[in-house]
């Protein structure tokens, strides 16, 4: 079974074809980073308009790369939420219409389910059940995963998502967008222990998190500083350490509570090398296996949507004649495919 995946929930147009026997056949991405760079964040209307421009040429490119004709495609999966309403509408409208024209079923996919299943695109895949740490620009979730569609959210950020905290910190320090890659790059030049930032909510019981206070800490530290390049790097270092440490502490606690021996990290921030090495260290000292996607599948992409779509379409799940987009959509509401 071949599934065309379409991702347009935010500022990346991602298209891919995944085959149930052969795996990923083709994958293409157009990132709008430059379009939004001057604004320091994603401008929703510009994002929707750019998806409109890119989506068809990208689908044509991926179809050609995979040497597929429309008749070879057995289903179409598109991100139906959560995300920016206008951006989601582009992918959903194109996906549903193509499915109608090509006479195949289509399915709307939850963006975070896509991220959660992205490690399944690798050779060494995690078996269920596992604990998932989903860290993106819009979400920070600790999920007890029993199987596909069986997601129990056991911890989340009460305010800013981790990726959002990286982006806002970068903006305050006068760095580019998106903040995650620039902060982590700059942190390499930072001096250890010049600044020590708090680890929010680690002394309180529970698995919820908070990152907005850390952002205020960055703002005040930067405002009171000499504002040199070195100080900027030292703050980036201290910020990253505080975030990574907090996430590691919460993961450790969640693993103890759930007794899972497998940890999946996914979403844009899971591309962060420091986070990966910190959680791998944790795995080396305990009987834990850690799984994460390759960097290109940590951030938004069409492959994860094609993969998630395949699981649901293969179980007989599909859209009716219409489609809907869901800008706010709790992950815990999902059901087992086909149920
Ligand atoms: O998953 P994603 O591409 O989009 C959303 O679903 O939000 O995640 C984007 C987020 C951005 O906030 C970006 O700054 C962050 O992921 N990010 C990183 C890194 N690469 C991307 N954060 C930390 N370190 C990175 N290397
Ligand atoms: Zn995402």
In a domain, 121, yes or no: no
In a domain, 339, yes or no: no
DSSP conformational letter for 164: H
pLDDT-flagged residues of the chain (< 50):
none
Whether residues 139 and 283 share a domain: the answer is yes
CA of 134 to the centre of ligand 2 (A): 9
Whether residues 80 and 37 share a domain: the answer is yes
DSSP conformational letter for 319: -
Q: What is the pLDDT of residue 157?
A: 98
3-state secondary structure of 131: strand
Whether residues 108 and 24 share a domain: the answer is yes
The three-state (H, E, C) secondary structure of 8-22, written as one string: CCCCEEEEEEEECCC
CB count in 10 Å sphere of residue 55: 22
Distance of CA 302 to the CA centre of its chain: 12
Whether residues 80 and 202 share a domain: the answer is no
CA of 292 to the centre of ligand 2 (A): 14
112 Cα nearest atom in ligand 1? 6
In a domain, 138, yes or no: yes
Q: What is the pLDDT of residue 265?
A: 98
In a domain, 69, yes or no: yes
300 Cα nearest atom in ligand 1? 3
CA of 267 to the centre of ligand 1 (A): 7
d(C-alpha 153, C-alpha 135), whole Å? 13
Whether residues 138 and 273 share a domain: the answer is yes
Whether residues 188 and 106 share a domain: the answer is no
Whether residues 140 and 100 share a domain: the answer is no
Predicted confidence (pLDDT) per residue in 126-158, tens digit: 999 999 999 999 999 999 999 999 999 999 999
Whether residues 146 and 204 share a domain: the answer is yes
Q: What is the pLDDT of residue 236?
A: 98
Question: Which stretches of the chain are assigned E, i.e. beta strand?
Answer: 2-7, 12-19, 23-31, 75-81, 106-110, 130-135, 140-147, 150-156, 262-266, 289-291
**What residues does ligand 1 touch, defined as CB less than 6 Å away?**
10, 136-138, 163-164, 166-167, 178-181, 184, 267-269, 271-272, 299-300
Whether residues 192 and 232 share a domain: the answer is yes
Confirm if 143 and 113 have CB atoms less than 8 A apart: no
CA of 137 to the centre of ligand 2 (A): 7
Q: What is the pLDDT of residue 173?
A: 97
In a domain, 70, yes or no: yes
Whether residues 250 and 185 share a domain: the answer is yes
**Alpha-carbon torsion angle 52, 53, 54, 56, nearest 10:** 70
Distance of CA 286 to the CA centre of its chain: 26
Q: What is the pLDDT of residue 93?
A: 98
Please identify, among 259, 274, 292, the residue that sits at the C-terminal boundary of a domain.
292
What CATH number does the domain containing 200 carry?
3.30.420.40
In a domain, 124, yes or no: no
Whether residues 187 and 274 share a domain: the answer is yes
Helix (H) / strand (E) element for 305: namely: helix 303-314
Q: 95 is in which domain, residue-wise?
A: 2-116+297-333
In a domain, 108, yes or no: yes
Whether residues 166 and 285 share a domain: the answer is yes
In a domain, 338, yes or no: no
Overall number of domains in the chain: 2
């Amino acid at each position: 079974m071949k599934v065309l995946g379409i991702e347009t929930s935010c500022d990346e147009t991602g298209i891919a074809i995944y085959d149930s026997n052969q795996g990923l056949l083709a994958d293409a991405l157009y990132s709008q980073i430059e379009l939004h760079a001057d604004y320091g964040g994603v401008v929703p209307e510009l994002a929707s308009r750019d998806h409109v421009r890119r989506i068809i040429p990208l689908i044509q490119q991926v179809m050609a790369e995979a040497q597929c004709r429309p008749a070879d495609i057995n289903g179409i999966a598109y991100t139906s939420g959560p995300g920016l309403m206008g951006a989601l509408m582009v992918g959903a409208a194109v996906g549903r219409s193509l499915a109608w024209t090509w006479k195949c079923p289509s399915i709307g996919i939850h963006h975070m389910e896509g991220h959660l299943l992205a490690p399944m695109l690798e050779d060494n895949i995690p078996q269920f059940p596992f604990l998932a740490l989903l860290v993106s620009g819009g979400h920070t979730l600790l999920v007890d995963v029993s199987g596909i569609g069986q997601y129990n959210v056991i911890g989340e950020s009460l305010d800013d998502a981790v990726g959002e905290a990286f982006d806002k910190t970068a903006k305050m320090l006068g760095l580019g967008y998106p903040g995650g890659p620039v902060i982590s790059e700059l942190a390499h030049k930072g001096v250890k222990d010049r600044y020590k930032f708090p680890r929010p909510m680690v002394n309180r019981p529970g698995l919820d998190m908070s990152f907005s206070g850390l952002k205020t800490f960055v703002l005040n530290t930067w405002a009171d500083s000499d504002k040199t390049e070195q100080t900027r790097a030292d703050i980036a270092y201290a910020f990253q350490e505080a975030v990574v440490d907090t996430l590691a502490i919460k993961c450790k606690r969640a693993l103890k509570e759930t007794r899972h021996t497998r940890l999946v990290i996914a979403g844009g921030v899971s591309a962060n090398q420091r986070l990966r090495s910190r959680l791998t260290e944790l795995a080396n000292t305990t009987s834990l296996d850690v799984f994460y996607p390759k960097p290109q599948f940590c951030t938004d992409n069409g492959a994860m949507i094609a993969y998630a779509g395949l699981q649901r379409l293969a179980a007989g799940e599909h859209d009716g004649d219409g489609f809907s987009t869901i800008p706010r959509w709790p992950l815990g509401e999902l059901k087992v495919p086909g149920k």
